[in-house]
Amino acid sequence: MSPAAAATLEVVVLHAQPDLATDGALNEACALLEAASGYCGHQFGQCVEEPGQYMLLIWWRHINDHLLTFRHSAAHSRWKQLIDAHVDSVSSVQHFTLAG
């Protein structure tokens, strides 16, 4: 699926070790996302002003694909294990309805 097929955008802002963007665990975690039901795409970026701050955008076909399906899966447990090893804190996780 592509982001154009998505109805929900998940926006995550987190603080992590500056090596998160280059660590192999991130690639494995993203592969788990890509295999999830209802996944439509993602982007990951590191803040220019604060190298320890990151933004993760995930497009979902429907909010329930994230909240009910992915979050209750073995893949999510593994995803958290991979990411949490590098994350200091999560500032926010929000879902937005996409118009247009």
79 vs 39: CA distance, rounded Å: 14
Query: What is the model's pTM?
Result: 0.90
Encode the chain (100 residues) as per-residue pLDDT tens digits. 667 778 999 999 999 887 777 778 888 999 999 999 999 999 999 899 998 899 999 999 999 999 999 999 999 999 999 888 888 998 899 999 987 6
**Residue ranges of domains in the chain, CATH in brackets:** 3-97 (3.30.70.100)
Per-residue confidence (pLDDT) for residue 84, from 0 to 100: 87
Per-residue confidence (pLDDT) for residue 81, from 0 to 100: 92
Per-residue confidence (pLDDT) for residue 10, from 0 to 100: 96
49 vs 32: CA distance, rounded Å: 29
Ranges of beta strands (E only) in 1-100 are 8-16, 39-46, 53-60, 87-97
